[in-house]
């Protein structure tokens, strides 16, 4: 599996700064779980530091639950992030190696404007997921303004909003749709679903065969986004980070289903099996 070298061994004198610092901009009232799952998943992938940027009202709840994370509390307005959050996020980006934007952010109009301004000229590698993608409905051209490598992780519904195509057409032409979107917007596209597909602007294509229907559960996509982003800040190229993240996510689901059963799988089960998935992959490729 391309990219596994980064997971093989760590120098004895390694420190957390050697393995990347990820900023996760996520969460909103009622969707704090998405933020926590994504951020912890990034740590499970091996990222050295993860800072979760959330509304100040959500900070106490998340900080008490996820002690391994660092936090950037942000100003709020009407139960969503305030425009005053923008300069705070932009200032903090300089301290990081990459970003994950979107899980559980909500779909208010102010979020759409905030994300558009964040992306304009962004120079750090980015994973754009969930409401980060929904914010670009009818505005996909914004992606062309991002100077840094970008990975987008849409499910078919989000891809429909990004492209204007009907879901049925996307599902019938997953390969062509993914490659076309990647080439047009110069991004790596992770089109989620049965046999998740990863496409790059140079027409590279990875078709994933790990995973099972138990992954069709709330929070599963947040875990995937965090995995990919965590690998990205450790230094993997975007296509390798996306492909390896997809593989490990599906493998964690397969390992979980052996102990539980597909209908009962939870996103938290995937978090617990990421270490086993990484170990399995390393053992199989020695």
* Rounded average pLDDT over 206-228: 97
Q: What is d(CA 61, CA 277) in angstroms, rounded to the nearest whole number?
A: 29
Q: What is the pLDDT of residues 140-194, one digit of tens each?
A: 999 998 999 999 999 999 999 999 999 999 999 999 999 999 999 999 999 999 9
Q: What is d(CA 159, CA 161) in angstroms, rounded to the nearest whole number?
A: 5
Mean pLDDT over all residues of the chain? 95
Which residues of the chain form beta strands (DSSP E)? 21-25, 49-55, 70-74, 98-101, 126-128, 150-152, 188-191, 197-199, 205-207
Kindly indicate the confidence band of residue 246, based on its pLDDT and cuts at 50, 70 and 90.
very high
Decide if pLDDT at 195 tops 70.
Answer: yes
Sheet strands side by side (includes 98-101) = 70-74, 49-55, 21-25, 98-101, 126-128, 150-152, 188-191, 197-199, 205-207
Give the chain's domains with CATH numbers: 18-284 (3.40.1190.20)
Q: What is the pLDDT of residues 110-130, one digit of tens each?
A: 899 999 999 998 999 999 999
**pTM for the structure as a whole:** 0.97
Decide if pLDDT at 286 tops 80.
Answer: no
**DSSP letter for each residue of 244-263:** HHHHHHHHHHHHHHHHS-GG
């Amino acid at each position: 599996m391309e990219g596994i070298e980064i997971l093989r061994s760590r120098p004895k004198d390694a420190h957390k700064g050697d393995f990347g610092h990820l900023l996760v901009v996520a969460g909103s009232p009622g969707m704090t779980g998405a933020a926590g799952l994504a951020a912890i998943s990034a740590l499970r992938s091996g990222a050295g530091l993860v800072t979760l940027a959330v509304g100040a009202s959500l900070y106490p709840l998340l900080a008490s639950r996820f002690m391994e994370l660092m936090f950037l509390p942000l100003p709020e307005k009407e139960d969503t992030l305030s425009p005053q959050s923008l300069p705070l996020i932009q200032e903090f980006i300089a301290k990081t190696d990459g970003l994950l934007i979107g899980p559980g952010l909500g779909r208010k109009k102010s979020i759409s404007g905030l994300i558009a301004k964040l992306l304009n000229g962004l120079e750090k590698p980015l994973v754009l997921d969930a409401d980060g993608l929904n914010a670009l409905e009818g505005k996909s051209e914004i992606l062309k303004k991002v100077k840094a490598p970008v990975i987008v992780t849409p499910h078919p519904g989000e891809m429909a909003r990004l492209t204007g195509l009907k879901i049925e057409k996307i599902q019938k032409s997953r390969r062509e749709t993914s490659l076309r979107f990647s080439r047009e917007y110069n991004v790596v596209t992770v089109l989620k679903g049965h046999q998740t597909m990863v496409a790059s602007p140079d027409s590279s294509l990875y078709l994933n065969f790990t995973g099972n229907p138990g992954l069709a559960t709330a929070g599963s996509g947040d875990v995937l986004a965090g995995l990919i982003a965590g690998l990205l800040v450790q230094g993997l190229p975007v296509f390798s980070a996306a492909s390896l993240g997809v593989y490990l996510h599906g493998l964690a689901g397969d390992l979980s289903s052996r102990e539980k059963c597909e209908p009962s799988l939870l996103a938290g089960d995937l978090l617990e099996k990421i270490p086993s998935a990484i170990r399995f992959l390393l053992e199989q490729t020695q």
